[in-house]
Every structure is written in structure tokens, then in C-alpha cells.
Structure 1
Amino acid sequence: MRKTSIKDVAKKADVSIAAVSQILNNKGQRFSKHTIEKVLQARDDLGYVPNSAARNLKGTHNRLIGIIVPSFRMPFFADIIQSMQDNAPTDVNLVFLGSTDDNLQNAIYSLVERGAQALIFGKPIPNRAEVNEFLKKRHIPYLVLDQNADINAQDMVQTNEFTGGSLVASHLLSLGHRKIALILPNKLTDNMRQRRAGFLDTLSTANLSPTTIITATLSKHGGLASVHQLIQSESTAAFVLNDEMAIGVLRGLAYQNIKVPADISIAGYDDTDYAEFMIPTLTTVMQPVLEIGKAALNMILRRLDHPNLPFQTAFFDVKLIVRESTGSVKL
């Protein structure tokens, strides 16, 4: 389906194309308030967004894909970005934006205004119905990673997060641990809820529940801040739902002269690039990040080529990587 043009806006507002152009470019002072309001209302009703990229790149035929992530500092998303860049065809331009929940709408509008023909969301969408309506009106397809499991996207890439959490629990139980803490970000994404569910489900099969559940910000500093509660819980092991936080936990335990894994075992999630370079190296769950990035890009390009394709999904398994940070419980 073609996108709304300035001609469509002019027709709906019953004014000339020149009038629409001037009003939308803030040069419509000579027009009446009534005419300006008609044009703006027609623009909003039709979902028209002026395409600055088309104005600046006339004669080019490159497709533009916008990718929104929560942060460029997180290695997981840095690897996804690199994978997409490595696998992008020569006729595809990628634009990456970091966005908080508060400025997500502005980030989306910015990408659309630049001429993005499709979007990939690597972060949770808080106002999902509004975003879906905004993009649907503008005929812009989008793909989500599994931080958005219950949104009505046309395409989705998922990993087996439930199994990932279960693998960690089974590993710690096999090492004899029965007093196991759970450390969570204070804002859980859909995929993290699946990790937590898999972990708790497997503990319950051993008639266990976490000795403590600690919440903190999703950062190294958040992990560091959780250490005092972890020590007080007298847990012999902890599952940290994200490697970023796990690194902070390791540092906090080192500050307190608590040895890992001799005194407490620590497991993370994501297998970020520095997990194998920590001291001790971090036991964690590996997601096939490079394959995820490649699959997401290929799927959204197929959607652009074939808009009426049925729902596309890619599902990836995870793997437990056992390293030095977990060991048998001390008797």
C-alpha cells in the first residue's frame, strides 16, 4: 500500500499542494487560521509525515530501515547492531537510535520523517496500541524482538528464554545449591519474565523457591547495589537476570572479600563479550546474537518486498555456558 502524499493532504483539505507545502513548512502565515487548521487536521487524519530523506536524496533508491534500541552501551545490543550492519545489502541504509520510554514517540517520528520504510524495535514499547496505530496509519511495517511478546507486530524474533532460566536453575541445583537468590532488573521486559518463569519453575520441581528476590536498576551499578541484600540472605548461589548486573555483583562481592565461587556462585544471562574475560569468568546463558540480528534484518526486508506475507517469526535456542563463577556448594 502506498504512503500518503502531500497531494492526498491537499485533496482532503481542499487546498492547493503549494498551500499544504507552505503551511507544513511553517511558511503559511498568509493563510487564514481556518485553512491552516484544515491542512493540519488532514495531515493528522491521513497520517502524513513529510519525508526529508526523499527531499535530500532524490535520485537514490536505497531502502532505509530504522532500528531503535534502549542503549548503545549494552554489549547485547551492540552485537545486534554490528550483525545488522555486516549483513545489510548494499541498497539498504540502516539508522540506529537509542531511546528511553519517554522519548520513544519522538524517536519513531524522527525515523519516519527521515524516510524510514520499516522499523525494528529492540526495546520494549510502553504505549503499544498508540505506536501500532501510528505506524499502521503510515503504512510502515515493523518487527519486534522478544521484549514485546504480546504486541500485534507482523514479524517477531524470539529466543527460548524460558529454557534459559530453567538451564540456570538446573545447573545450580546440580551443584548442590539449595539457597539460591534471584536478582532482577526493576523493569522487566517480556523476555526477562520468561527467564524468571523458567528459573522459578525448575526450582519448584525441587520444592524450592528463591531465598530472596532482589530488584535493582539494569546496570552494573544496579548489580553492585544489590550485593548487601545478597550477602544478608546467606544464599550460596545467585541467578542474575542480565550480565550487566552480574558484573556489578561480582565487583561488589570482591569489595567485600567474598570469593566466587568458593563462597557463592553467580550465574548471569546473555553471554556478553566480556563475560569470558571477568575474574572469575562468568557462567551465563548464550543467545545467538549475531544470528538474531541477521534474521531480524532479513525478515523486515522480506516484509518490504512482500507486504502481504503472513506473520513471520524466527525462534532461537539458547545454551548454558559454564565458566568459573559457579561451583559446588561448600559443605
Structure 2
Amino acid sequence: MDNSDNTAGDGPAGDGTARRRKRGASMGDVARLAGVSAQTVSRVSNGYEGVVETTRQQVLAAMKELGYRPNSAARALKSGRFHTIGVITFNLSTTGNTRTVEAIATSAAQEGYATTLLPVAVPTQDSVRGAFTRLGELAVDGIVILMEVHLLDAATVALPPRTHVVVADSNAGDRYRVVDTDQAGGAHAAVQHLLDLGHRTVWHVAGPAESFAAERRVTAWRDALRTNGRAAPEPLRGDWSAESGYRAGTVLADQPDCTAVFVANDQMALGVLRALHERGRRVPDDISVVGFDDIPEAASFLPPLTTVHQDFSEVGRQCVQSVLQQIRNDQEETGTTLVATRLVVRDSTAPPPIS
């Protein structure tokens, strides 16, 4: 009986194929099938330029046929690069942080980098040090920190050696590269808009005192009023939530001389609008309201909210570009990059009522 058809796969070639399938194809296997050197396979798998296109396609076809997957761990050990960016954030419940993290992950992926997210539930110096330690164990090339609170000033945190850092929303530009929204410019535009409509002054619902962004907006609000020779009422404090905005709105509703209010974010502005409505203060007929963020729902508030637009996608993109530049140049950088804001005028602002 002729067993040649049954034993063809049991010869040397067949054994080699079986062994490759069991252990996984190697770079040498790809090189032999493609008829090129292992160095050429390495250059193709690492995306290097300078490989003739026909040769590149030949290598890619061999990789596909053999099911070859480059060993990224081995490459990382050899090059010292892990193609991963760590992200530390202290509050994922805020619109700004959520959208910035999303933009960082998207931008990093477009550059061929993965992201490792470490949210810090309780903002203390020890918890941040712990996050840095964990990122060091996970092997990242750089870190983006979404920093909001004074307690966690970057200067107090001991960073792992040779770790490149970019900080969002911080005043640490003299120590690290910072990417931030132009908080002051946006707040000034909001206040100036209300004054130009004819309001004598502008009240303010501020964010939490420990927030860098909130404090910059408070400072810009005061400066804009001072520049125009107007008195600044005592600001009311919130915690970024609509509930805290509602509480502030109940206070504002009882101020007969309040005709305009600048609210430090849109969620608190939503609470202010509700409180004013419940107390019979019409917006914008009696009181004009301006928010900050331009969240997607702002145009659907009642009335549609005039607000300061923040480009969170651009902040995230700039964070990634800044940390990659440091990685590629293998050097730390300092200074601050500001991403522009713009005022979006809708139906929640109007001239003050005629007294």
C-alpha cells in the first residue's frame, strides 16, 4: 500500500512546519520564507524606513503566512523603549479630565503608543508616589499627569529616573512641561462679555479652592472687573457639581443687585439655572449666566448656555506630543503651552433689566 500521501507531512519539512506552529514562528523563519536577512525582517517589523517597498511587502506576506508576531517585550529590553505612556488622574468624574484622558489615549494610539491609566482615588502625596511606583513597575516611557490640587504640586513628588513628564492643569511650568487651557483668557472673555452688555458688575460661582483651574478663573474674574473699574462681589464656592451650583443659585436669587453671574463650569451653571428658575428669576431677562467648558449638553440647557469653549482634544494631543518629544530627544523639558479658548454666545446672556 502506497503511504506517500499520508507521510508527506511527516518528513523534515512537515516536522518543521509542525514545530513552528507549536512554538510560534521566529524572525529567522520569516527571513527564510521571504528570502531576506533577519536584519531586514527586524527593520520591517519595527517600521524603519529605507526598506525597498517590494521587499517590505514580501516580508509582510511571510509574516502573515507564518502568523509571526514581533516580540515587543524583547524589543523593549533591547531598545529601552516600551511604547507606553502612563496617565495619572485624580478625578475621572469631571468632564474635563474624562475628555482629556480620552484624547490622550486616542492621540497616543495614533503614534503607536499604548496608555496605562492609574486613577488616584484619594489625592494625597503618598497615593501619588504609589502611582509613580506602580507605573515604574509597569514599564512606561513617559507620564502625563492630570493635576488639579495644590497638595499634589509636582515639586513634592519624587519621579522615577529617566521618566519624562507632562503635567496638565498645573503651575509647575518651571519644573516640568505643562499643557493647559488658557483659563485666564477664557474667564476674562466671559466677564468682558457681560460688562459689554451693560451689567454693572459680575458675580462669580467658583470651583473648589484647591483647584488650580478654579483659582485661575477667580483671579481672572477679579482682574477683569478691576480693569473695568468695577467692584467684585464675594465669590460663592462650589465643587464642580450641579448640586453645588444649585446651592449657590439659591443665594444669588436672593441678591436683588445680581444681574450677571460667571460660573466656573457648565455643570454648576446648570444648577444655577435651576435655582433661579425655581425662585422666579428669569434667565436672561433678570439675570445673565455664563459657564465654562462648553460641554456637549450646554446648547440644550434651558436657555442654551453662553459658555467658554475648552478644546480638551487639543489639550490631550499636545500632552502626547510633548511627552513624545521628550522621549525621542531623551531629555526633560519645562515651560507651559496654553491651548486657546473661545466664548460661545447663546441665549443665557442679555443686557440687564431696565430699572
Task: Tell me, yes or no, whether TM beats 0.5.
Answer: yes
From 178, 189, 197, give the equivalent of 1:175: 197
1:265 shift after superposition = 0.9
Compared with structure 1, are the counterparts of its residues 201 and 261 closer, same or farther at alpha carbon in structure 2 (3 Å cutoff)? same
Equivalence for 2:308? 285
Superposed CA offset, 1:123-144 (max 9, x none): 2352436644x20x53322111
1:216 shift after superposition = 2.1
The aligned runs of 1:264-283 (5 Å cut-off) are 264-283=287-306
Q: Which moved more, 1:154-163 or 1:123-132?
A: 123-132
Compared with structure 1, are the counterparts of its residues 197 and 128 closer, same or farther at alpha carbon in structure 2 (3 Å cutoff)? closer
From 138, 142, 153, give the equivalent of 1:128: 153
From 275, 283, 288, give the equivalent of 1:252: 275
Superposed CA offset, 1:122-173 (max 9, x none): 12352436644x20x533221111x311364331113322221211111101
Q: Is residue 103 of structure 2 the alignment partner of residue 83 of structure 1? A: yes
Q: Distance in 1 between matches of 2:100 and 2:154?
A: 26
1:82 shift after superposition = 2.1
Do the aligned partners of 2:179 and 2:338 also contact (CA within 8 Å) in 1?
A: yes
1:310 shift after superposition = 4.4
Equivalence for 1:71? 91
Q: Distance in 1 between matches of 2:320 and 2:154?
A: 23
1:180 shift after superposition = 2.2
From 98, 101, 118, give the equivalent of 2:119: 98
Q: Is residue 240 of structure 2 the alignment partner of residue 218 of structure 1? A: yes
- SS in structure 2 at match of 1:200: helix
Equivalence for 2:74? 59
Compared with structure 1, are the counterparts of its residues 248 and 69 closer, same or farther at alpha carbon in structure 2 (3 Å cutoff)? farther
Superposed CA offset, 1:31-50 (max 9, x none): xxxxxxxxxxxxxxxxxxxx
Displaced runs of 4 or more, over 4 A: none
Do the aligned partners of 2:166 and 2:319 also contact (CA within 8 Å) in 1?
A: yes
Equivalence for 1:329? 352
- SS in structure 1 at match of 2:293: coil
Compared with structure 1, are the counterparts of its residues 154 and 123 closer, same or farther at alpha carbon in structure 2 (3 Å cutoff)? closer
- SS in structure 2 at match of 1:268: strand
User: What letter matches 1:94 in structure 2?
Assistant: T
Do the aligned partners of 1:167 and 1:199 also contact (CA within 8 Å) in 2?
A: no
Aligned pair count reads: 273
The aligned runs of 1:231-250 (5 Å cut-off) are 231-234=253-256, 235-250=258-273
Q: TM-score, normalised to structure 2's length?
A: 0.70
Compared with structure 1, are the counterparts of its residues 221 and 230 closer, same or farther at alpha carbon in structure 2 (3 Å cutoff)? same
User: What letter matches 1:261 in structure 2?
Assistant: P
Q: Distance in 1 between matches of 2:252 and 2:325?
A: 47
User: What letter matches 2:200 in structure 1?
Assistant: R
Unmatched tracts of structure 2, length 5 or more: 1-71, 77-81
Identity of aligned residues (%): 24
The aligned runs of 1:144-155 (5 Å cut-off) are 144-145=167-168, 147-150=169-172, 152-155=174-177
**More helix per residue:** 2
Compared with structure 1, are the counterparts of its residues 86 and 278 closer, same or farther at alpha carbon in structure 2 (3 Å cutoff)? same
Superposed CA offset, 1:76-95 (max 9, x none): 22221222222223631112
Q: Which moved more, 1:235-244 or 1:206-215?
A: 206-215
Superposed CA offset, 1:178-203 (max 9, x none): 14211112324333322222221221
Do the aligned partners of 2:201 and 2:260 also contact (CA within 8 Å) in 1?
A: yes
Compared with structure 1, are the counterparts of its residues 319 and 282 closer, same or farther at alpha carbon in structure 2 (3 Å cutoff)? same
Equivalence for 1:46? none
Superposed CA offset, 1:106-132 (max 9, x none): 333332332233211112352436644
Q: Distance in 2 between matches of 1:279 and 1:228?
A: 17
Unmatched tracts of structure 1, length 5 or more: 1-56
User: What letter matches 1:231 in structure 2?
Assistant: A
* CA-based RMSD: 2.4
The structure that has the greater radius of gyration is: 2
1:261 shift after superposition = 1.0
1:260 shift after superposition = 1.3
